[in-house]
Amino acid sequence: MISPLQHLKQSGRLDRFYIDGEWVRGSGADRAIIVNPATEQGVADIALGNAADLNHAVAAARAASVSWARTGPAERARLLDRVHALILERQEFFAQVLTMEMGAAITYARTAHVPLAAEHIRVARDNLATYPFLAQRGKTAIAREAIGVCGLITPWNWPLYQITAKVGPALAAGCTVVLKPSELSPLNAFLFAEVIHDVGIPPGVFNLVNGAGAVVGAGLSAHPDVDMISITGSTRAGILVAQAAAQTIKRVTLELGGKSPNVILPDADMARAVPPGVAAAFRNQGQSCSAPTRMIVPRSQLKQVEQLATETAAGMIVGDPTSEATTHGPIANRAQFDRIQQMIAIGVAEGAKLVTGGTGRPDGLDVGYYARPTIFSDVLPEMRIAQEEIFGPVLSIMPYDTIEEAVRIANDTVYGLGAHVQGADLATARAVASQIQSGQVHINYPAWDPNAPFGGYKQSGNGREYGLEGMEEYLEIKSILGYYT
């Protein structure tokens, strides 16, 4: 069976962009090497776009915008249904390429990265069945219309998942899009563009241009014919996008960094609360913006928490991501690996108690960007490891004496993306959840809900993704007075 990389190379996709329904060669000579983080070896190189390529894609999206917006919801839903089905049909292709380009363990790619990405398309499809694009309010009609051409900028850590989280609702709303995936993990975006093409989405509705953030990302943000920008990335990148977009007063939605708390209340069963908390903090090698990397626990139970957390980390198998026995693969790229090593060293220097892990690779792994699952305890709120997003498998355990103090620690951050609360008494857990300044709070590790709006308070961004609210970001509201008699 041909591999996804062989397929992309033989088809010539890596040298092309998907614009106006066709695979076209770029106009520039810049390229990027895609590195397999497990081997540290280059496995492919892709063409990078420039201003001319971006203008081509935006023009195609602009030309298709009116006809696509006028396409009925039922037809848009039919096409999205086919996109959903094809992603699942090609799940193994997607999983293999995600493992190769960003290090996700193959079992995790199969059970999380790809199926959860498909869910965003399903939700977008289902929302079209009942959404009130035209509603009556007295004699006034409230119309919700596609905003137009949308520039979508997606990250390297959950690449396919974030593509579908943006493309699905944008297309459902009737918008056309230009996608710029991360140049560090773009291969899955080629496979996604093939799905779009094979489904028969009209030319110009979806366009893909690879490129550097400083070129294609900045160009999309400032482009006068782009009506909206949606970016998932670092807070630094979000600030740059917002500044560039301000020139044309376009809508901007930002899903940025996080330093999410996990408040474990005194009445919680520690044996049930701690292990899933460690697992959640370390999912996807800790490379999740909403990962609960601050575990806030009763001081009286700190020793028990440390023991349970250590035992959980010890059960994680870090290694070759293509092995089905592996639970955690390498960090996605060298720059992030170096950042994690630096922050672990800072934690030690700050005087936090190193419970397990530390700097360097796990034993027996001399090649690859593998990081040791690391847990600190007795972490103080003012420490850098408690304040800065590390974006790796590093957990800070922070003790408290009262629930009021636990809430203060939870909110003592510039971020507000995700949060968790664990407790036996649901009323108390709900009360604590209501006090946490975060766009999403999970009580007692509930199942993931693709219909739950996701987004940030404070420096974690603005706007929402997922569910109805995610689609509404791509809609303008028009009042038509006198519409009804």
pLDDT of res. 477: 98
Q: Does 426 have pLDDT greater than 90?
A: yes
**Residue 344 pLDDT level (bands cut at 50, 70, 90):** very high
Q: What's the rounded Cα separation, in Å, for the pair 194 and 208?
A: 11
Q: What's the rounded Cα separation, in Å, for the pair 422 and 263?
A: 6
Question: Which residues are known catalytic residues?
Answer: 255
pLDDT of res. 30: 94
**Residue 289 pLDDT level (bands cut at 50, 70, 90):** very high
pTM of the model: 0.97
Query: Domain extents for the chain?
Result: 4-256+460-480, 261-450
Q: What's the rounded Cα separation, in Å, for the pair 393 and 285?
A: 5
**Residue 164 pLDDT level (bands cut at 50, 70, 90):** very high
pLDDT of res. 467: 96
Contacts 24+ apart (CB under 8 A), 303-307: 304/270, 305/264, 305/270, 305/274, 305/377, 305/397, 306/355, 306/375, 306/377, 306/397
Segment 140-160 mean pLDDT: 98
pLDDT in tens, 18-60: 999 999 999 988 999 999 999 999 999 999 999 999 999 999 9
Q: In whole angstroms, how far apart are CA 421 and each of 219, 409, 450, 457?
A: 41, 13, 20, 17
| Topology, domain 261-450 | Aldehyde Dehydrogenase; Chain A, domain 2 (3.40.309)
Burial (0-12, 13-18, 19+ Cβ within 10 Å), 159: buried
Residue 92 is which amino acid? Answer: E
Q: Which CATH number does 4-256+460-480 carry?
A: 3.40.605.10
What percent of the chain lies above the pLDDT cut of 70? 100
What percent of the chain lies above the pLDDT cut of 90? 99
pLDDT of res. 1: 73
pLDDT in tens, 380-407: 999 999 999 999 999 999 999 999 999 9
pLDDT of res. 457: 97
pLDDT in tens, 165-220: 999 999 999 999 999 999 999 999 999 999 999 999 999 999 999 999 999 999 99
| H or E element that contains 354 | strand 353-356
**Residue 291 pLDDT level (bands cut at 50, 70, 90):** very high
The answer to whether the beta carbons of residues 210 and 154 sit under 8 Å apart is no
pLDDT of res. 257: 95
The answer to whether the beta carbons of residues 214 and 183 sit under 8 Å apart is no
Question: Read out DSSP for 454-485?
Answer: B--SGGGEES-BSHHHHHHTTEEEEEETTS--
Q: Does 449 have pLDDT greater than 90?
A: yes
Query: HEC states along 256-288?
Result: CCCCCEEEECCCCCHHHHHHHHHHHHHHHHHCC
Matching fold, domains 4-256+460-480 and 261-450:
no
